[in-house]
Structure 1
Amino acid sequence: MIQIKIYILVILRYYVYFDISVTPENIEISFNEIIEGTQCEFQCIAINGRPPLNSNVYIDGKKETDTMKKIDTGARNMFTITTLIIKKITRLHNQVKVMCCSTIGNGICRTKKVNVLFPPKDIHVEEMLRQNQDNGKTRIELKYTVAESNPKSSIGMSGVENNARMLVDKTYERKSETHGWALTVIWTFNFTRFDGKREIKCQVRTDGFPELNLEHIYKLNITYSPIVNISWQENKDIFVGDDVHLTCHVESNPPSTISWYKQSGLIQVVYDTKSLDINLTSVSTDYSGTYTCTAHNGIDGITSKNISLIVKESRKAMVHSYVLGLAIGIPITAVLTSVISFIMVYKRRKGALLVTRTDGVDNEYNGSRNDDTDLQAGYESLARQDFSKEVEMYTQPDNRKSTELPVVYENSEI
């Protein structure tokens, strides 16, 4: 009788434990690191509950029906039930909630967010600002936009290591659809016309994706107003009959419209070119004047440069003029020299006459040396006496040999 009671109690105890529902002590949600496009295993673990029923699993509010169950029995007929779900995850699942609920007993739920790793899909480059300065110096502002990623991305640039640049802005924006981070970076660069063919290479880097190959190559197009230079026979004399070659060299981007003018008259015009030549054959003096080259390409107006062409007479004409000048100049020089010599001799002899005739005059006018008027009158009287004696001697030939001729001074005042 006693043994029968013991068997009944054991059986009752077993079935009572089995039938009485017990809410699990805890629920755990477990999954590995998730990369988009991969199959992910979600585990919903209800610990120490009874009876061993499946838990309900919800992903982003939707109940998952394709589940598997694994049961582990513990003490006192308690069970740990693991509900398994295998699902392909995309970037759209990033930051969604996974909820695991046990319906045993009073029920218990737990939630956990999914962190899906994914790289950016593209990068976009936009030119925001361009400022043209003199001689092709250009300031460019570039905006780099990297599509959303998780985790955040960064960018590196090559090809502009030696150029001055400045970081204007760097911003991360979280996108609502994927909850990824989009990156926007704005850089300002200073270039010259010599950077016209340079390429700026931008590479995107995202942690967790070492093999990511996302880059963008931006080809520079430095535009600038024309720079004009003229080449010709600048250091050479141009004579009538010579040929003259004028070349207008223009450096610009885009190509320019080039025109040649003489004074205000148009000679020639060519579109979208780098140089323009004009050939002047067998020039005459009518070709002399100002020649101007103008260029424009729609940037900063018209640029011009000019030269002055002077056509001289032919070399034969110059030689003829030189000889004629000598023929005229030498006689004139001779005449002028004779006149000057005559004047100098006249002044010299006039002074000598006054000195040599002072012997007799000094005694005659010894008392009146200080009287200038009387002295001058004495000189004039003496000169007249000498002139009369000379005339008389020349009119009496027989007396020429015995009489000594007086000194006669040409052009003496009488």
Structure 2
Amino acid sequence: MTAFALWIVLLPTAASKFVLNLTPKHPMARVGDSLVLTCKASGCAEAVTFTWSSLIDRSLYGKTETNGTVSLQIFNPLGIHHINTVVCKATCRTKGEDTQNAQRSTKVNVYALPKDPTISRSDLLTEGQESNLTCTVPDVYPAERLIIEWLLGDEVLLKQDEHLEVQTVTSVLKYRPTAQNNGQNVTCRATLDIGIDKRTRETVASMTVQYSPRNITISENTQVKIGDGFTLTCRAEGNPEPTVLWRKLDQDGRSVVAGEGATLLVEEASWSHGGEYECVAHNVVGNLTAHMTVNVQDKSVNPKTVIIPAACFVFMTAAATTLMRFLKRAKQASSYELERTRILAYKSCRYSP
């Protein structure tokens, strides 16, 4: 019987590959929330030693929990100071084998959604004058992802999305308002677009625009009997509301104050009340004027009576004598005498009925 020998040769196997995984790959979380980084090792038969660190020499401000081949780095609550490149290092020491090392890193990103913006102005808004409107968006990160829009009604006036470096973002709108903008709403809209979460906050403010008086209306030219009362009115639009001043112009073009307010009331007209009146509507921005005339007449005026304004009491003696004689016998005057007297009165006073 032939004997056989069986040789079994055991060849050394290659050591298992030591692998390290760090998740999530691109961590991003909101300020105030919690974030957990998980570092998991595989391919090590013995215990694994973990070390957490920063790519730069600074604290991680986190808490570490390790259980076997898994180590956690916990940030709670998350803040802007946690923005960092975090490194997880793991060491595998197996008896009879070389020590194996592995590491993974990831960038922790943090964002803070914007709070409601605030709108302020450097001065009062005045029609036609350029003013600065300032929109401030506090506590936002990363500011370079912030988009600020200025709107007047539904119209976009300005869109600002350039890179900024601060966490409180300020946008300035240079705007030249018109009177039509008074009472309209201006909106500052802040949008933080970071992909995983998008939030828009906005603040609406009503615009108060100062503008000079306009659309002035004044009483039409008025005839009034002497001794009767009359009322003149004058109004204008403007912001602030215009104040009205009445002036009476004399023959030399000089003016005297006749009253204040939208309504000028004269209870009993005299000859001195006749003439041209000027209404001046004014506010802090400007003023506007309008004119009208008051004609004061004698109550005895009839088709055969000559109208004699106050100015006609000073004329040539001859004309005065003729007029007085005519007035005494006007009813018996011939057509020739009447016409002659009218011509004299016209030449003396530059006035005829």
Q: TM-score, normalised by structure 1?
A: 0.57
CA contact (8 A) 1:155 1:203 kept: yes
Matched, 1:58 2:53: yes
Larger radius of gyration: 1
Contact 2:216 2:235 in 1 (8 A): yes
Shift in Å, 1:39: 2.7
Q: CA deviation at 1:100?
A: 1.1
DSSP 3-state at the match of 1:114 = strand
Question: Structure 2 matches for 1:267-346, cutoff 5 A?
Answer: 267-269=258-260, 276-300=262-286, 302-316=287-301, 319-321=304-306, 327-332=332-337
After superposition, the Cα gap between the structure-2 partners of 1:124 and 1:254, relative to the gap in structure 1 and judged at 3 Å, is: same
Structure 2 stretches of 5 or more lacking a match?
A: 1-9, 93-98, 250-254, 308-326, 341-353
| CA distance in structure 2 between the aligned counterparts of 1:333 and 1:122, rounded to whole angstroms | 87
Contact 2:117 2:189 in 1 (8 A): no
Q: Distance in 2 between matches of 1:192 and 1:217?
A: 19
The correspondence for 2:205, drawn from 214, 218, 222, is 218
Structure 2 match to 1:69: 67
Matched residue type, 2:164: E
Query: Secondary structure of 2:234's match?
Result: strand
Contact 1:226 1:296 in 2 (8 A): yes
1:328-362 Cα shifts (integer Å, max 9, x gaps): 34255999xxxxxxxxxxxxxxxxxxxxxxxxxxx
1:81-105 per-position Cα deviation (integer Å, ceiling 9, x unaligned): 2212333242414531212122443
Of 104, 108, 121 in structure 2, the residue corresponding to residue 110 of structure 1 is 104
Aligned match for 2:256, one of 265, 278, 283: 265
Residues 149, 160 of structure 2: 8 Å contact kept = no
What is the Cα deviation at residue 112 of structure 1?
1.7
TM-score computed with the length of structure 2 as normaliser: 0.65
Task: Identify which of 120, 125, 131 aligns with 1:126.
Answer: 120
Q: 1:92 to 1:278 in 2, by over 3 A?
A: same
Deviation at 1:47, TM superposition (A): 4.2
How far apart, in 2, do the equivalents of 1:168 and 1:116 lie? Answer: 24
Distance 1:284 1:96, change over 3 A: same
Letter in 1 for 2:107: K
Matches within 5 A, 1:179-190: 184-189=170-175
Distance 1:305 1:82 in 2: 89
What is the root-mean-square deviation in Å for CA atoms of aligned residues?
Answer: 4.0
8 Å contact 1:130–1:139 — kept in the other structure?
A: no
Among 132, 143, 146, the alignment partner of 2:134 is 143
In the TM superposition, residue 217 of structure 1 has moved relative to its aligned partner by 1.1
Count, aligned residues: 290
Corresponding position of 2:154 = 161
Indicate if the aligned counterparts of 1:158 and 1:201 stay in contact, CA closer than 8 A.
Answer: yes
Is the contact made by 2:219 and 2:232 (CA closer than 8 Å) also made in structure 1? Answer: yes
**How is 1:92-103 mapped onto 2 (pairs within 5 angstroms)?**
92-93=80-81, 95-103=83-91
Verify: 1:253 aligned to 2:247, yes or no.
Answer: no
> Which has the larger share of helix?
1
SS of corresponding position for 1:283: coil
1:252 CA drift (Å): 1.9
Does the CA contact (< 8 Å) of 2:149 and 2:157 recur in 1?
no
Which amino acid counterpart does residue 142 of structure 1 have in structure 2? L
In structure 2, relative to structure 1, the CA distance for the partners of 1:157 and 1:149 (3 Å cut) is same
Structure 2 CA distance, aligned partners of 1:334 and 1:138?
A: 63
The question of whether the paired residues in 1 share the 8 Å contact of 2:126 and 2:177 is answered with no
For residues 73-92 of structure 1, the aligned pairs below 5 Å read 81-92=69-80
Distance 1:333 1:251 in 2: 51
Per-residue deviation at 1:42? 1.0
The alignment partner of 1:174 has SS state of: coil
CA distance in structure 1 between the partners assigned to 2:192 and 2:63 by the alignment: 35
- Equivalents in 2 of 1:292, 1:128: separation in Å? 37
- Counterpart residue type for residue 55 of structure 1: F
Whole-Å separation in 2 of the counterparts to 1:189 and 1:111:
49
Q: Which is richer in strand? A: 2
Residue of structure 1 equivalent to 2:165:
174
Displacement of 1:310 in angstroms is 2.5
Q: How far apart, CA to CA, are the structure 1 residues paired with 2:279 and 2:86?
A: 77
In structure 2, relative to structure 1, the CA distance for the partners of 1:203 and 1:333 (3 Å cut) is closer
- Match for 1:120: what amino acid? P
Post-superposition offset of 1:216 = 0.4
Distance 1:69 1:253, change over 3 A: same
